[in-house]
Amino acid sequence: MRVLEDDLFPSTPGKVKIERAGSMNRQLHRCFASTSTMFLWALFLVAMTASYLSFQSFVDTSSKYFAASWGGLHWERQIRASAAPRRPPGSADGAGMSVLVTGAAGFVGTHCSLALRKRGDGVVGIDNFNSYYDPSLKKARRSLLASHGVFVVEGDINDGRLLAKLFDVVPFTHVLHLAAQAGVRYAMENPTSYVHSNIAGLVTLLEACKDADPQPAIVWASSSSVYGLNDKVPFSERDRTDQPASLYAATKKAGEEITHTYNHIYGLSITGLRFFTVYGPWGRPDMAYFSFTRNILQGKPITVYRGKNHVDLARDFTYIDDIVKGCLGSLDTAGKSTGTGGKNRGPAPYRIFNLGNTSPVTVPNLVSILEKHLRVKAKKNVIEMPGNGDVPFTHANISLARQQLGYKPTTNLDVGLKKFVKWYLSYYGYTRGSKNL
């Protein structure tokens, strides 16, 4: 009982103190022990959380990387398969080439890629699918290419790492460089996009080509617009090209000078092609023949520009199949680049060709042909050409291309527009007799 009392009510105050102190110590010790255990646990949890979070961020970063449109073993396999030539061994045309086509989901890029693939060459495309015009048309072109075994990488020619990787995976024999910011009048709205694609992008591509081993031969799209205010007709490659009328033209002219430098210093084989207003199926919606067709079918007015003194504007409209032949002829005759490891080992070809049709047609005439094939009258709004970079006419002299590439255009505007209209109606789902026509 006493023991119990002593235990419950101790008679010796000191003892109580000591005992209390001891018990407090024990409690404190226990408490401290449990606090340090808790502290250790907390530390452990913090460490676990931190490593979990960093693992998550690694997973996120990697998944972002792997979700990006390029990279990885599967991607490399697709690139190699697409780049492999499939010409029958011992065929008259040789082993076939491996061509990197920039702007492959663009109008000319799609047609050239298909033509190369069809004759057994290996083709890999690259395109940034930007929204200068409806990207769904570019995606439809990519699907068309995919159905023929041509793989298109989604990426920008300003991405030097991507280009280096592509040359790492495939020893491309040729580059067909068609990626560009196109359009003459849009340069007033968005000048920097021309510098970005046509100057910076071109230099990034040339750097990758010069570093590649083997160096590819390069065929690229310049433009008839480089003739600018030149009024000596027909335009010949020897005529002046130092009076551009638009920033677009100036960037294409700059491209001719820049490629010359890479030819001179690094021995890159260069062929620049001055395209003259290319048109046809799967074309560019920003161009007059395309937007006129859309507006005419929708019953909307079209704006027809007219030159000074009521002179009609005229263009040497060139059908896409003719341009494709010119591009393939250029690739076939390009001649090799001579450099290795960034060093020039001898002179390499530097060529420039006009690819036109040699028979200019006025814009009002273009409209009449469209009206005939669409069987709809256009609502025309004729205005004087604003100072927007347009030139009054273009007309190609193609003797050089004829002689050196065997280039011989065969499609006139009437036949070419008929084919375009047929494609347009089927692509956009119009049927003859529908209320739209």
Ligand X SMILES: O=C(O)[C@H]1O[C@H](OP(=O)(O)OP(=O)(O)OC[C@H]2O[C@@H](n3ccc(=O)[nH]c3=O)[C@H](O)[C@@H]2O)[C@H](O)[C@@H](O)[C@@H]1O
Q: Cβ(220)–Cβ(174) under 8 Å?
A: no
> For residue 343, what is the DSSP state?
B
Told to check if 368 binds ligand X by CB under 6 A, we report: no
Beta strands in 224-269 (DSSP E): none
Query: In angstroms, how far apart are the furthest CA atoms of the chain?
Result: 130
Identify the residue among 132, 172, 266, 276 touching ligand X (CB under 6 A): 276
Structure tokens that stand for 425 in this block: 């109606």
Q: From the list 112, 363, 369, 413, which residue makes contact with ligand X (rule: CB under 6 A)?
A: 363
Under rule CB under 6 A, residue 312 binds ligand X: no
Please give the Cα distance from 208 to 213 (Å, whole number).
Answer: 10
The residue annotated as part of the active site, out of 133, 186, 248, 424, is: 248
Nearer to ligand X, 206 or 304 (CB): 304
Contacting ligand X within 126-185 (CB under 6 A):
182-184
* CA quadruple 311, 361, 186, 397: dihedral sign: negative
- Interface pick for ligand X out of 287, 296, 369, 405 (rule CB under 6 A): 287
CB closer to ligand X out of 268 and 302: 302
Closer Cβ to ligand X, 288 or 413, answer by number? 288
Residues 315-334 that bind ligand X (CB under 6 A): 315
For ligand X, which residue of 145, 313, 334, 425 counts as binding (CB under 6 A)? 313
303 touches ligand X by CB under 6 A: yes
Containing 278, the helix (H) or strand (E) segment is strand 278-279
- For ligand X, the closer of residues 163 and 288 by Cβ is 288
- Least Å from the CB of residue 200 to ligand X: 18
Instruction: Look up 248 and say whether it is catalytic.
Output: yes
Q: Of residues 224, 269, 293, 344, which one binds ligand X by CB under 6 A?
A: 224
| Closest approach of ligand X to the CB of residue 315, in Å | 5
Burial (CB < 10 A; 0-12, 13-18, 19+), residue 72, is exposed
305 binds ligand X (CB under 6 A): yes
- Count the residues of the shown chain that bind ligand X, applying the rule CB under 6 A: 19
Going by C-alpha positions, the residue among 251, 9, 411 that lies closest to residue 259 is 251
b/e 186-209 (16+ beta carbons within 10 angstroms → b): bbeeebebbbbbbbebbbbbbbbb
Query: How far is Cα 380 from Cα 305, in angstroms, rounded to an integer?
Result: 10
368 neighbors 281 (Cβ within 8 angstroms): no
Residue 275 CB, nearest approach to ligand X (Å) = 6
CA-to-CA distance for 156 and 40, rounded, in angstroms?
A: 51
The answer to whether residues 323 and 377 touch, using CB atoms and an 8 Å cutoff, is no
Q: Does residue 352 touch ligand X according to CB under 6 A?
A: no
Give min distance, CB of 283 to ligand X, in A: 9
> Per CB under 6 A, does 255 bind ligand X?
no
- Of 167 and 276, the one with the shorter C-beta distance to ligand X is 276
State how beta strands 361-362 and 314-315 pair.
Answer: antiparallel
> Which range touches ligand X (CB under 6 A), out of 26-34, 39-47, 134-142, 269-277?
269-277
Nearer to ligand X, 71 or 364 (CB): 364
Hey, how many other C-beta atoms are within 10 angstroms of the C-beta on 385?
Answer: 16
Q: What DSSP string describes 93-119?
A: T-S--EEEEETTTSHHHHHHHHHHHHT
Q: Does 253 bind ligand X (CB under 6 A)?
A: no
For the bound state, the minimum distance from the C-beta of residue 113 to ligand X, rounded and expressed in Å, comes to: 19
Active site residues: 248
Positions touching ligand X (CB under 6 A) are: 182-184, 223-225, 275-277, 287-288, 303-305, 313, 315, 363, 390, 394
